[in-house]
């Protein structure tokens, strides 16, 4: 091969390498330029979210226990053998227990029965007996506290239906007074079938006094619940709101949260009569850790604050002042815009918010 051929061959190779290198450099420049341009476009992109009706807040579903102290409300007066014993919910005129063949019955009365009640007697105890006879359908005259002929006839009919001798007299110890009925009744250990009574035994116990509404929580739950938190308490179709007024550690290491009505008093307010008088009554409840607020919600990042302290959002029509009504879970409830308004999010916000718009 001649010297000229060798030179020509090497020169062609150098030119080819130069051309390839130039093409690679141009491709690299183009690729980098596209990436830079894409990054700049992404940085300048505006993210939007749409305001919508929602609610924020946080709560715990727990149980409120209504506690009513149980006390002895009657001592047995009748000697003999207990033949029947009836605990649980008792209503006007219902039998609590039977000694020999004498039934002891529940009657609503403000004061205890303390004597035999018979023809010619008069007083508050007679009036309570008359009301019971009216409630049971044996008497249709007005309550006057005087044991007359109509009351005598009604008592005899009642005794007949109870398979008693129709004496017309209600003996001392046959009636137990309860301030309100129906009531959940417990009987003492001595009032059991087959037990021999001599008189003087504690006999009937029932809830008395003011109700206490208590939410029992574990220690870690107590730390989540702020002082003064409200509690929604429900019983059947009734719903009340109480407020935590006291926090007491119990012997198990848990905490008793004592509730009262927001304005003071029992949580059930004027509806307390609808609650059964159980010693312990569990009620479904919701403890409001963060109060629930409903309204138009936007992502928290959309709400901005001016140096003067006013809050605003940026919409497609410009800045609009808003008032924050509540917040939680990354959502802010605001007054000042309507549902469906598109609000601007800060530059660089997650495109998830944009996808929600």
Which residue bears the tokens 């609808």?
274
**Does residue 254 contact residue 216 with C-beta atoms inside 8 Å?**
yes
* pLDDT value of residue 184: 87
Would you say 204 and 190 are in contact if contact means Cβ atoms under 8 Å apart?
no
Question: 356: pLDDT confidence band, cut at 50, 70 and 90?
Answer: very low
Once rounded to an integer, what is the mean pLDDT over residues 173-180?
95
Fold of 72-207: Muramoyl-pentapeptide Carboxypeptidase; domain 1 (1.10.101)
Query: Residues 45-67: what's their mean pLDDT?
Result: 90
Most confident of 34-48, 143-157, 179-193: 143-157
Residue 37: predicted pLDDT: 47
Residues 16 and 14: their CA atoms lie apart, in Å, by 5
Query: What is d(CA 232, CA 57) in angstroms, rounded to the nearest whole number?
Result: 14
Give the confidence band of 45 by pLDDT, cuts at 50, 70, 90: low
Task: Answer for the pair 254, 219: CB distance below 8 angstroms, yes or no.
Answer: yes
Cα-Cα-Cα-Cα torsion 46, 52, 56, 62, nearest 10 degrees, comes to -140
| Residue 8 host element (H or E) | helix 3-44
Q: Quick one: pLDDT band at residue 357, thresholds 50, 70, 90?
A: very low
Q: What angle do CA 226, 232, 234 make, to 5 degrees?
A: 150
- What pLDDT, on a 0 to 100 scale, did the predictor assign at position 38? 46
- Residue 14: pLDDT above 50? no
Task: Write down the CATH number for the domain with range 47-56+293-356.
Answer: 2.40.420.20
| 167 pLDDT tier (thresholds 50, 70, 90) | very high
More confident residue, 154 or 183: 154
pLDDT band at 46 (very low <50, low <70, confident <90, very high): confident
Write out the H or E segment, with its range, that includes residue 355.
helix 351-356
> H-helix or E-strand containing 286?
strand 280-299
- How confident is the model over 176-191, as a mean pLDDT? 93
Work out the average pLDDT over 257-282: 90
Name the token pair of 306: 């001016």
Question: What is the pLDDT at residue 349?
Answer: 53
pLDDT value, residue 330: 87
Mean pLDDT of 108-136: 97
Percent of the chain exceeding pLDDT 70 equals 84
Q: Is the pLDDT of residue 39 over 70?
A: no
pLDDT over 80 (residue 6): no
Q: Is the pLDDT of residue 102 over 60?
A: yes
Q: Is 324 exposed, middle or buried (0-12, 13-18, 19+ CB in 10 A)?
A: middle
Predicted structure pTM score: 0.57
Reported as a single tens digit per residue, the pLDDT across 125-162 is 999 999 999 999 999 999 999 999 999 999 999 999 99
pLDDT category, 291, cuts 50, 70, 90? confident
> 259 has which bridge partners?
213, 244
Confidence of residue 290 (pLDDT cuts 50, 70, 90): confident
Q: Check residue 132 and give its pLDDT.
A: 98
pLDDT of residue 328: 77
- In the chain, domain spans: 1-44, 47-56+293-356, 59-67+210-291, 72-207
Distance CA 76, CA 202 (A): 6
Instruction: Report which of residues 354 and 340 the model is more confident about.
Output: 340
Contact present, 59 and 288 (Cβ < 8 Å):
yes
- CA–CA separation, 104 and 120 (whole Å): 22
- Averaged over 205-219, what is the pLDDT? 90
Q: Could you say which of 1.20.1290.10, 3.40.50.300, 2.40.30.170, 2.40.160.20 is the CATH number of the domain covering 59-67+210-291?
A: 2.40.30.170
Residue 339: per-residue pLDDT: 95
Q: How far apart are the first and last CA of the chain?
A: 75
Which residue did the predictor score with more confidence, 77 or 347? 77
Q: Are strands 80-85 and 70-75 parallel, antiparallel or unpaired?
A: unpaired
Average pLDDT over residues 191-196: 97
Do the first three CATH levels of 47-56+293-356 and 72-207 match, i.e. the same topology? no
Closest by alpha carbon to 175, among 77, 100, 256, 262? Answer: 77
Q: How many CB atoms lie within 10 A of CB 27?
A: 10
CA angle 186, 188, 194 (to 5 degrees): 115
């Amino acid at each position: 091969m001649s010297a000229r051929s060798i030179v020509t061959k090497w020169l062609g190779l150098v030119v080819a390498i130069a051309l390839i290198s130039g093409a690679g450099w141009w491709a690299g420049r183009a690729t980098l330029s596209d990436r830079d341009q894409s990054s700049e476009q992404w940085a300048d992109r505006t993210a939007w979210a749409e305001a919508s009706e929602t609610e924020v807040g946080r709560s715990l579903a727990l149980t409120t226990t209504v506690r009513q102290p149980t006390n002895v409300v009657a001592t047995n007066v009748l000697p003999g053998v207990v033949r029947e014993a009836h605990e649980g919910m008792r209503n006007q005129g219902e039998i609590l227990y039977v000694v020999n063949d004498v039934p002891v019955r529940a009657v609503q009365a403000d004061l205890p029965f303390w004597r035999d009640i018979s023809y010619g007697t008069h007083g508050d105890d007679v009036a309570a007996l008359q009301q019971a006879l009216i409630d049971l359908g044996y008497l249709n005259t007005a309550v006057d506290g005087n044991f007359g002929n109509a009351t005598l006839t009604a008592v005899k009919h009642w005794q007949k239906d109870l398979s008693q001798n129709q004496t017309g007299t209600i003996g001392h110890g046959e009636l137990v007074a309860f301030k309100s009925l129906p009531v959940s009744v417990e009987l003492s250990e001595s009032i059991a079938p087959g037990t021999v009574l001599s008189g003087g035994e504690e006999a009937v116990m029932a809830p008395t006094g003011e109700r206490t509404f208590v939410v029992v929580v574990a220690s870690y739950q107590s730390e989540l619940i702020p002082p003064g938190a409200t509690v929604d308490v429900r019983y059947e179709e009734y719903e009340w709101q109480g407020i935590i007024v006291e926090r007491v550690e119990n012997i198990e290491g848990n905490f008793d949260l004592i509730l009262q009505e927001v304005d003071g008093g029992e949580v059930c307010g004027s509806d307390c009569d609808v609650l059964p008088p159980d010693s312990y009554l569990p009620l479904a409840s919701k403890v409001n850790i963060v109060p629930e607020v409903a309204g138009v919600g936007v992502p928290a990042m959309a709400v901005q604050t001016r140096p003067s302290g006013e809050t605003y959002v940026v919409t497609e029509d410009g800045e609009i002042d808003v008032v924050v009504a509540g917040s939680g879970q990354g959502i802010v409830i605001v007054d000042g815009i309507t549902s469906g308004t598109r609000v601007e999010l800060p530059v660089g916000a997650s495109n998830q918010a944009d996808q929600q718009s």
